[in-house]
Amino acid sequence: MSAFKTVRGMRDFLPEEAKIMKYIESKARKIAELYGYQEIIMPVVESYELLAAKAGEEVRLRMYAFKDLGGRMVALRPEFTPSVARLVATTLKNEPKPLRLFCLGSLYRYDEPQRGRYREFWQSNFELMGSSEPEADAEIIMLTNSLMEAAGLENLVFKVGHVGVLRGVLSQEGLEDKTENEVLQFLDKKQYDDAFRLVEDAGASQKCVKALQKLVGLKGSKVFEIINKMKESVKDYEKAVGAVENLQKILMFVSESGCEINMTVEAGFARGLEYYTGMIFEVYVPELDVALAGGGRYDKLIELFGGESTPAVGVAHGIDRIMLAMQRQKTRLKAKEEKKVVVIPIDDDLKSEALKIARMLRDADIPVEVEVMGRKVSKALEDADRRKLNYAIIVGEKELKEGAVVLRNLTKREQNTVKIEKIIETVKGKSRP
């Protein structure tokens, strides 16, 4: 058989990278705890219909979709939001609101593989269900900032927009939902002329086209100035004005909370997913041209899945991309360095004693490896040095008779005979050998 390779777009994570991924996941779990989000575990396979309903063309066409052996049309999840919305529309429908739900896991999209774009990737996903208040939107932005900061990232930029402004203009002009979605898809891809042409062809007024043209030109980091200009541009469209005011409140809450988030508002910003109805945002760092996170408000999805009308807002953080950004910014992991130990029996008769000592140390929460290659002490020590372990416990007949072992500090290159009952405190640094 020829040597196997990973399938295109799939990756192996070797220990160094797996460590960073797990580090980011642990930070996400911590943020979930700090903000009161409960973790749920969702299936990788869902009904195609559920996932496709509001995915937007880009995600829909890239789903790993197939018929299972029972003839059901299913797909590997390309995102978490439809699954969480399904849960809230069904099993959790009677739960008191707000519901704060968090999940972590792998997602699948048949994207063209390139730096930061993979066919299997990981997200930490936060959904806040049941509130239409702007402080809920502010919370989602703030927790995203907390996660990025906890990962040690710097120079973050939050790009913020509001789909309600665009939809407010288009719906007052009588455009159908489907056409609205198509216009937003064009705007998402920055194909502005195609968007304006579609609006004209759908019978919208010149005033509407002008308002949209103004909106797509409005962007910048003086967010409240931009917001005022947005309001002026859509003044004849009541719902759109309401949406601008909603965005203003959200951003006021964020800035008044004391969070120093670097934001830019883009009035013509749209995201690929079709379920958004309100504020939307993405997070960037200068070192990467892809978003580290994306989210927004979607007030109609739970109802669409047969649940009660439930407003909702959420975000997904791309763990792979956060890792990439950390590597580019040379972020150091703030992990407590644990002392690592290897136990080496001098000969075969002492193997069970070595296993016993290892077990005793692990019971005291000390990471321990046992020499299992049958090597001589010198070879086993060389290997422990190469792998930067901290201590070696050498189990020999002579010391054992005295209830002791040789404890070698591999960093300081010195060794002492230590009573077995004293090893734990010595390794933990509470007693000197």
Q: Which residues bind ligand HAM (CB under 6 A)?
A: 79-81, 109, 111, 117-118, 121, 123, 125, 127, 273, 291-296, 298, 314-316, 318, 320-321
Q: Minimum Å distance from CB 281 to ligand HAM?
A: 10
**DSSP for 223-236?**
HHHHHHHHHHHTTT
DSSP 67: E
Q: Minimum Å distance from CB 286 to ligand HAM?
A: 16
Q: Minimum Å distance from CB 9 to ligand HAM?
A: 9
Nearer residue to ligand HAM within complex by CB, 23 or 391: 23
Nearer residue to ligand HAM within complex by CB, 60 or 229: 60
Nearer residue to ligand HAM within complex by CB, 144 or 179: 144
Are residues 265 and 220 in contact, defined by beta-carbon separation less than 8 angstroms?
yes
In angstroms, rounded to a whole number, what is the distance separating the alpha carbons of residues 212 and 194? 12
Nearer residue to ligand HAM within complex by CB, 228 or 262: 262
In angstroms, rounded to a whole number, what is the distance separating the alpha carbons of residues 202 and 418? 85
Are residues 281 and 313 in contact, defined by beta-carbon separation less than 8 angstroms?
no
Q: Minimum Å distance from CB 19 to ligand HAM?
A: 19
Nearer residue to ligand HAM within complex by CB, 37 or 80: 80
Nearer residue to ligand HAM within complex by CB, 125 or 310: 125
Q: Minimum Å distance from CB 61 to ligand HAM?
A: 13
Nearer residue to ligand HAM within complex by CB, 100 or 321: 321
Give every CB contact of residue 11 below 8 A, 6+ residues apart in sequence.
118, 120
Q: Minimum Å distance from CB 319 to ligand HAM?
A: 8
In angstroms, rounded to a whole number, what is the distance separating the alpha carbons of residues 390 and 411? 6
Write phi, then psi, for 409 (nearest 5 degrees): -85, 110
Q: Minimum Å distance from CB 320 to ligand HAM?
A: 5
209 burial class (0-12, 13-18, 19+ CB within 10 angstroms)?
Answer: middle
The Cα-based distances of 108 to 33, 105, 116, 414 in angstroms read: 27, 10, 14, 51
Nearer residue to ligand HAM within complex by CB, 121 or 391: 121
Nearer residue to ligand HAM within complex by CB, 279 or 342: 279
- Across 9-42, b (16+ Cβ under 10 Å) vs e yields beeeeeeeeeebeebbeebbeebbeebebeebeb
Residue type, 365: D
Task: Pick the closest to residue 87 from 123, 127, 121, 53 (CA basis).
Answer: 127
Q: Reduced to 3 states, what is the DSSP secondary structure of residue 312?
A: strand
Residue with the shortest CB distance to ligand HAM: 318
In angstroms, rounded to a whole number, what is the distance separating the alpha carbons of residues 364 and 218? 60
Nearer residue to ligand HAM within complex by CB, 316 or 361: 316
Give every CB contact of residue 286 below 8 A, 6+ residues apart in sequence.
155, 157
Q: Minimum Å distance from CB 119 to ligand HAM?
A: 7
Q: Minimum Å distance from CB 59 to ligand HAM?
A: 7
Give every CB contact of residue 21 below 8 A, 6+ residues apart in sequence.
13, 122, 319, 320, 323
Q: Minimum Å distance from CB 136 to ligand HAM?
A: 12
Structure token pair of residue 305:
């899945």
Nearer residue to ligand HAM within complex by CB, 211 or 324: 324
Q: State which H helix or E strand residue 139 sits in.
A: helix 134-150
Task: Pick the closest to residue 395 from 430, 431, 361 (CA basis).
Answer: 361
310: alpha, beta or left? (left if phi > 0; alpha if psi -120 to 50)? beta
Q: Reduced to 3 states, what is the DSSP secondary structure of residue 86?
A: helix
Q: Minimum Å distance from CB 117 to ligand HAM?
A: 5
